[in-house]
Amino acid sequence: MTIYAIDGLIPVVHPTAYVHPSATLIGDVIVGPGCYIGPSASLRGDFGRIVLEEGANVQDTCVIHGFPDSDTVVEQDGHIGHGAVLHGCRIGKNAMVGMNAVVMDKAVVGESSIVAAMSFVKAGMDVPPRSLVMGAPARIARVLRDEEIAWKTEGTAQYHALTRRSLASMQEVEALTAVEENRPRIALAAGLPTYSTKT
């Protein structure tokens, strides 16, 4: 991983967290137990503090930043999808921010809520718990069903497992030049996409 101190502040990474070597952490960044930070994520704690609580995951190419004297927080089991941008906001416990969504300053995404992919959550928006938020600008679409929250929780559990798998087996290697005979597959339970939960 690429770690930089700034103004004497050094990022903190719990030993049970996994940070991909291509991710960048700068300054006042605190990564809690069991967190996962994916390839090319950028967590810039050079203005405000960034906190990932236990079991949070921040996937590939996410950007997290904030203003001075502010905290950007992803609470326990928060799930930040590929390419999302968080700036000076708070993502509640067990909430999810979808791929390429943006959540702006002083916005609060409530516990077990989902921000749909490519949504724009404007500054100061307060999303109640268990809400589905979508659009640009984002609006509260409806209350989430129990099975949708269960789907989200299951997806986050797969990232908890990925953290452990990455710590145990991720390594830089040279590519093969040909596909092996009887090439094995990664053996995982198949996850279902969110649209499959609709009745």
pLDDT at 196 over 60: no
Q: Strands (DSSP E) along the chain, which ranges?
A: 2-4, 12-13, 18-19, 24-31, 36-37, 42-52, 57-58, 63-65, 71-74, 79-80, 85-87, 90-91, 96-97, 102-103, 108-109, 114-115, 120-121, 126-127, 131-135, 138-143
Structure letter (DSSP) for residue 88:
S
Evaluate if pTM is beyond 0.75. yes
Greatest extent of the chain over all pairs of C-alpha atoms, in Å: 56
Task: State which H helix or E strand residue 131 sits in.
Answer: strand 131-135
List, for residues 55-90, the tens digit of each pLDDT value: 999 999 999 999 998 999 999 999 999 999 999 999
The per-residue pLDDT for range 9-26, each reduced to its tens digit, is 999 999 999 999 999 999
pLDDT one-digit tens code per residue, 141-170: 999 999 999 999 999 999 999 999 999 999
Domain 2-143 has CATH 2.160.10.10: yes
pLDDT at residue 188, rounded to an integer: 76
What pLDDT is recorded for position 187? 82
Task: For residue 162, give the 3-state DSSP assignment.
Answer: helix
Structural domain spans, the chain: 2-143
How far apart CA 75 and CA 59 sit, in angstroms, is: 15
The encoded tokens of residue 5 equal: 């101190």
Q: What is the DSSP letter of 194?
A: G
- Integer Cα distance of 143 and 129 in angstroms: 8
CA distance 199 to 157: 23
pLDDT > 70 fraction of the chain, expressed in percent and rounded? 94
Pull the structure tokens for residue 66.
């904030």
- Report which of 58, 46, 48, 51 is spatially closest to residue 18, judged by C-alpha positions: 58
